Every structure is written in structure tokens, then in C-alpha cells.
Amino acid sequence: MGFREILIKLPTDYDDDSLNREIEKTLNIKRFTKVIGKKSLDARKKNKIHWQLKVAVTSNELAGGERPQTSILKIPYKKRDKKAVVIGSGPAGFFAAYTLQKGGFKTILVERGKDVIQRKADIDFFERENSFTENSNYAFGEGGAGTFSDGKLTSRTKKISAEKAFILQTYIEAGAPEEIAYMTHPHLGSDNLLIMTENLRKMFIDRGGSVIFDCLVSDINVGSGKVKSLESSLGTIEGDVFLFATGHSSYETYKYLIKKGVQYRNKNFAIGSRVEHHQELINEAQWGCTSLKGVKAAEYRLTSSADNELPVYSFCMCPGGKVVPAAPYKDVNIVNGMSLYNRNSPFANAAIVAGINLESILKRPIDPLESLEWLEKLEQSFHIEDFRAPASTIEDFLRGSNSGNIQNSSYPLGLINYNLSELLPPFVSHALKRGLSDFSRKLKGFEKGNILGLESKTSALIQVHRNKDGLADRFSNLYINGEGSGYSGGIISSAADGIKGSMAIIRDF
């Protein structure tokens, strides 16, 4: 049996038969099996947009050829009597708990929010009645922050290939489309994420794991460099090793961890707003036509930099998506983006953010608690009366004018016409103006969209002092992983960081 890996270009609306014919023609063979290794859209030339596929072909009609090695995560199992407690059921916490359970630990996953079905009902109620539910919203609840998201599975880190392969395989077992294994820009959509989150929990429980919902961990009891137990809304929780994967929205968690001796430092982060356009405008600008058979919706990724200025870039672009009210607490107002698997809403949105370092902007050293307070206050200032999003057209924002001509929006709780320069810190607003002018030159019609709300959750603004696996400095059994640790951002890198913590626990306990 021989093996070849080939690159094939196909029209955007190709089907499986045309792919097979192309393989037959390229390799001059009739019988074979194939596995798509990579699939990406090449839209560099608008009149020649096509898919580019890397296909692994196995056939008796081929001789020789070497299969590429794939990294596999090996989780060593041992029967153990130690109890591991994981706090937070987002990607980092879930994968940490799942890995620990596979490694033989008695594992408890503790989550402040509700299970994903009840959480969905609470979010629907919020969007219908403008009535916010504490601990069960876009930020908190089973599955973590990205459960109701576009579910983009891209990650820039190259050092996590074994973890990433394990995450994608586990997602596929839980019902994710198989294409996530080979698309260069894979995404799940909120509809798949909802089903998968429930299935992942069942897979964990079937292996003997336990999940406790509606359980807010409110403190740690510390002695001799160890966490002895946790305090929670449901009472004291005992354990031998504790892994916090509470994300970057859980401000009270940061505060009690810091109070109990966990050390943090400031890090660079980014702040801005979301922009929204009609998807057809983005399709036209990127493809030269309003729709393209075989491709869902056009994406963009934009960056703008200038000497001695803050870098500005687009982040978490959601084609065919919706801008959502992503507040974790009732007195703050922030936005984020999501989409369904088909990405078929008439709107495209993305965060446009400026990268900042608070200490260099405020020109003095600041304590991590002060940074948190700074951000909290900013998030509160966007909660003007309720969860409507302050907004204007991008053109108005650039000119500093107020035409009141806001475009239609997918944002479910309504927009208030507002000059965002009055709400954003001046250095952010200044940088966004420069970036948005630049983007309006790069992407035709960009200035025609809306700019709305505050985007403050691209990554954590503080970072814990820990070793590479997540073990917090000065503690022997406290791991801090995922986005809240300040070492990861996004679904894949946070899940991978959770796995790293759990693999270290499997090794060391």
C-alpha cells in the first residue's frame, strides 16, 4: 500500500466527486482512500477564488511514500485515591478535569453557573426581557465564556500540537463537525457548542467524574503553602489538589486569590469596541461579489500600526453573526460576538481593539488590584441606563459628529446613539480613530458600519506568577490555568493550558 500527500485546487462549490476525479487525474490511480489534511480558501485574486486542499491518499496503485507523524497526547492512567477539584467548566477547566479523570483521579468539576440548557434559557430570557441572570449569562455557566460564540478554533501557539489534536478529537466525539480537524479557520458555531457542551459533560460523568453546578467558590483556606479546602456557596469543599480555571471575568475570584497570597503582575491587553456591517458589504469587499457558492461568509483580519502609537487590530471576527451582551455582572455592559454554524445572519461583526499597557499609559507602576478596578469602572461606565449598547456609525465616530443615522444591528437589546469617544479612554479612542480610518482605506465601505459598546475581554489584564504548567508560586497544590491565568486566550489555547496543568498533576501527585 502506497501513500502520497497532494495539494489540490478546486472551485468553491466543488463536491466529493470532483475531488475524487482530481485525485485520480493527479496520481493516475483508480482505487484509493483519502483524508483531507488541510482546507483553506484562497481569496487573494478576486476572479480566481478557490479552495486549496492538502489530501493524504492511500492506494495499492501507489508505491512507497511516508505518512506524516501526528503528535498524540498520552495520558498515563494509574488507580489513585487522591481527589482533584477543578473550578470552572470553561475549555480550560473542562479539559483539565477530563484529563485528570482519564489519569485516574477522583475529579470534581465545580461551576458557579447552571448547566448549558438552563443557561441557554437564561440568556434567551435576558435577550427577550432585558433581565439579567447572575451567574448564568454569556460569561458564566457550563462551557465557559465561549459557549455562545462563533466557536473559532484557531490558535497562534505552535507548541500545543498534541493537546490541540486531543481537544479536536474530543470535540468530534462530542458531536463537532469532522471538518474542524482540517479547516485552516475551523469554527463550531453556538448551535454545535450547545450540543457538544452537554455531551462533553456526559462523557466526563460516564468516566466517573462529578459536576457541581450553582456553586460559586468564594475563598481558599490556606496553610503551610497549600490550599487546604475551598469555601463555596454550597459549603466547604475538600481536596488534595486544586486547579482554578475561572476565566478572566471572575473579578471576585482574582480578589480573594490575591488576598490569600497568590501573586499577579500586570500584562499587556487590549480594549476597544465592536464594529458591525452588513455581511454583503464585507463579501463584496473581500470577494468582489455578494455571495459565493460553497463558502458561508467572508471574513477579515485587519491591523494598523504607526510609530509611537498603540497598535490597533480586528479581533474575534464573526461572519454571519450577532453582537451579544456579554456582561458577567449586572452593573457592567460589554459586548462580544457569536454566530451559528451556518454563519447565515445578514451581519458581520468584529472587535476593533487597541493594544495597551496600563503602566506605560498611566506612567507609574500599578498594583494588579488597581488594574482590575480600572477595568471594572470602565465596564460600569458603559452601563448607561440598562444593557442597550452605546453606538454610532463609524463615520460619525471618525468625524466626532452625531448624525444619529445608526445602521440596523443584530444586537438584541437595542442601541443608544452615543459618541463613544466620551466613554472610551482618550488614548483608546484616539488609536481606534486612526485604525478605523486605515481600515476604511483597506476594506471598501468599512466606514459605513456601526461602532458599538465596549470590548474589554480579548485577554486578561493580569497574569499569575506560576510555573509553565500552572503551579502558583509559593503553593504546592494550587494550579491556575486558562485565560484567567493570563497565559492563554481563546478556546484552544485555554483548553490546552488546562491540559498542561492536569498533566503536571498526573505526573507529580
Ligand X SMILES: Cc1cc2nc3c(=O)[nH]c(=O)nc-3n(C[C@H](O)[C@H](O)[C@H](O)COP(=O)(O)OP(=O)(O)OC[C@H]3O[C@@H](n4cnc5c(N)ncnc54)[C@H](O)[C@@H]3O)c2cc1C
Contacts with ligand X by CB under 6 A lie at: 87-93, 110-113, 138-141, 144-146, 148-152, 216-217, 245-247, 249-250, 253, 316, 324, 326, 336-338, 482-484, 489-491, 494
- For ligand X, the closer CB: 245 or 356: 245
- The two counts, helices (H) then strands (E), for the chain are 12, 22
- For ligand X, the closer CB: 55 or 501: 501
Minimum distance from CB of 155 to ligand X (Å)?
Answer: 7
Minimum distance from CB of 187 to ligand X (Å)?
Answer: 7
Minimum distance from CB of 69 to ligand X (Å)?
Answer: 26
Q: What would the DSSP string read from start to end of 222-248?
A: EETTEEEEEEETTEEEE-SEEEE---S
Helices 491-508 and 91-102 meet at what angle, rounded to 10?
30
Q: What would the DSSP string read from start to end of 248-288?
A: SS-HHHHHHHHHTT--EEE--EEEEEEEEEEHHHHHHHHHS
Minimum distance from CB of 279 to ligand X (Å)?
Answer: 17
- Measured from the Cβ of residue 301, the count of other Cβ atoms closer than 10 Å reads 10
Q: Are strands 2-11 and 50-59 parallel, antiparallel or unpaired?
A: antiparallel
CA distance 446 to 326: 24
Minimum distance from CB of 213 to ligand X (Å)?
Answer: 9
Minimum distance from CB of 492 to ligand X (Å)?
Answer: 6
- For ligand X, the closer CB: 4 or 322: 322
- For ligand X, the closer CB: 113 or 449: 113
- Three-class SS string for 102-143? HCCCEEEEECCCCCHHHHHHHHHHHHHHCCCCCCCCCCCCCC
- For ligand X, the closer CB: 139 or 432: 139
Minimum distance from CB of 5 to ligand X (Å)?
Answer: 28
C-alpha cell at 44: 487573494
- For ligand X, the closer CB: 23 or 84: 84
C-alpha cell at 287: 470577494
C-alpha cell at 503: 498533566
- For the chain, first and last CA: distance in Å? 45
- For ligand X, the closer CB: 23 or 275: 275
Minimum distance from CB of 157 to ligand X (Å)?
Answer: 12
- Three-class SS string for 8-42? EEEECCCCHHHHHHHHHHHHCCCCCEEEEEEEEEE
- For ligand X, the closer CB: 88 or 390: 88
- Note the helical H segments in 260-390: 279-287, 358-362, 368-381
42-45 — which CB contacts under 8 Å span 24+ positions? 42/9, 43/286, 43/287, 43/298
Minimum distance from CB of 168 to ligand X (Å)?
Answer: 13
- For ligand X, the closer CB: 449 or 489: 489
